[in-house]
Chain A
Amino acid sequence: MFSGFPAFFVLYLLVQCPLLYAQGSANSTQAFLNAYDQGNIEQLVSQGLLAMEAEDFPEAERIFLEAMQVAKVNYGLSSKEQRIPLRHAIEAQLSQGKFEQAENHLTYFEWLNDEIYTRDFYAYLEGTELLSELLLKASADANNPLGVRYLIAAKNLNWRAVSGIEATLGEDNIQLTPWLYNIVLAHYYQSSLVKNSSVISYVHRSEDDEEINGFTLTMGESLRISYRIGAELLNRIADIYAATEEVPAESLALVQIYQADWEMLFGNETSALELYTDSYNQLLANGFGPEQANRVFARPTVLPATTLATSLEAFADEDQGPVRFHAWTPNYPATHLPSEEVAINSNAGAEFMALVKFTLHPLLPAGLMSNDRIIPLGFNVDDLEVISATPDNDLVRQRALYEVSLLQFRPRIKDGAPVVIEDVRLEYLFPPQYNVLSVSTN
């Protein structure tokens, strides 16, 4: 035995091999433990985001789900650290059209966030914001069959955040206002859905997945409810600003502009103009000069504004080039993309755009009927003309004219009176998933 090998070499091997094995084994254990290292979550999320950029959505989903497992191992099964990878995993699933998997993960996100509520209220609010964005994103996808349900779910989530803030911080707390405004916006999105179909159905689902039929509202009834809720919430926002001392002096006057916007969106133009001019006068009464007050209305704004601006600093000067309108989704016509977080990850149709010019009137042109009844005619956008289109063809130009004519603008108030704005330039970016050929203009 061991003939041909020097005896001392055999002895060396016998002693050294178990040591080498033990070292190798320790390395692999270390590697195994490293896979679940806390720092790995950030690395994995970065890798996943790179995969998302490269549009390798299945790989991105795999990486984000792995990061989620790492977060569970390190921080616990109901840890808030899971939310970032979970959010991206859902985005990757939505990008692949895996709506069922996305639905399961959205339900999990909601459960997780409810668990966090009892431990850390502010972390719960952050999670609610994330989840609300994900639900809106899911609702915006034209291919998602559950779009309406996600919109209602996002709205309900915002309501629960409102209830949480009321219970924790008080019913007049200023932190309520962005959540209340989100609900107002959700009602606008809902009303744009309703305008596209004659009825809206609310179908509820119970805990055991058994569907319970909800109720169906006619278009008029649903629009009236949305209008009333929006108006009530905007009044509440105004009351909160009126009761809060540490806010800019102009806040209340500026909130009134959003109340006017709401009236404008629901066709109550006369009351809207009264509120706009009243808001202008309030700004003057608060010590601002006409130049500052005029600046609020200087740049044409497509309604509804996506954020609630309550400081004059948020209002830009007039000369900033064309107004840029990034349409969100074909599901909600004439609606500006609220934020990049809710944009659909799809390049289909995204390359379509048009530069248009028009004259903006503060009121709709009105006609007098034989019975002395005044009826609004057409739109408050006039002399609409396409300057350029990409790709430049008649179909895109026609679609651009139609889509821009659906937009509603905040009228310009100058020196306390509504005025016409001529030669307004607007860059219209068609929404992703917009099919130029199949959209009905009737």
Chain B
Amino acid sequence: MTACLGPAGSIHQKVTPTDAEVEAYNASVSPEERIVCREEVPVGSFIPRRVCRLQAHMDSTSDEIRTELRRVLQ
């Protein structure tokens, strides 16, 4: 599912880091640069996909959604 066709016609596998690689990376960088990888099921599909995101980006997105939700519910 994660394979795609490269420009030269070769198949490139989209590889996300393993849990151990993520943990090793996170141990060496500042908290703002840490990444989180997890299985997610995208809307319109039943097939889980491993997605990696920047921790800080996840935090800010969560904050934005929380604020927006609060505004809508008021």
Contacts and interface: CB of A to CB of B under 8 A. Distances in A.
A429 to B, nearest CB: 33
Interface string B21-56: 001101110111010101000000000000000011
A156 interface: yes
Nearest to A212: B31
Report, as a range, how many residues of chain A touch the other chain.
20 to 34
A249 B55 CA distance: 44
A229 B31 contact: no
B27 A155 contact: yes
A183 B26 CA distance: 14
B64 interface: no
A229 B59 contact: no
Secondary structure of the B side of the interface? helix
B32 A221 contact: no
A156 B28 CA distance: 8
A159 B27 contact: yes
B4 interface: no
Given A215-B55, A221-B38, A228-B19, A162 B24 contact: yes
B34 A204 contact: yes
A159 B23 contact: yes
A207 interface: yes
Interface string A336-362: 000000000000000000000000000
Contacts of B59: 212-213
A318 interface: no
Contact of A232 (B18, B30, B56): B18
B28 A215 contact: no
Contacts, number: 48
Contacts of A183: 23
A173 to B, nearest CB: 15
A204 B19 contact: no
A225 B19 contact: yes
A229 B55 contact: no
Nearest to B63: A213
Interface residues of B, number: 18
Interface string A204-227: 111100001111000001000100
Contacts of A233: 20
Contacts of A214: 31, 55
A1 B55 CA distance: 89
B32 A215 contact: no
A152 to B, nearest CB: 9
B65 interface: no
A215 B36 contact: yes
Interface in A192-212: 204-207, 212
A204 B55 contact: yes
Nearest to A159: B27
A228 B18 contact: yes
A207 B58 contact: no
A232 B19 CA distance: 9
Nearest to A228: B19
Contacts of B31: 204-206, 212, 214
A324 to B, nearest CB: 33
A233 B30 CA distance: 23
A215 B34 CA distance: 11
A228 B26 CA distance: 17
B20 A232 contact: yes
A163 interface: yes
Contacts of A215: 36, 55, 58
22 contacts: A156-B26, A157-B27, A159-B27, A159-B28, A163-B24, A163-B28, A183-B23, A204-B34, A206-B30, A212-B31, A212-B32, A212-B59, A214-B31, A215-B55, A215-B58, A221-B38, A225-B19, A228-B18, A228-B20, A229-B19, A229-B20, A236-B20
Interface of A: 155-157, 159-160, 162-163, 183, 204-207, 212-215, 221, 225, 228-229, 232-233, 236
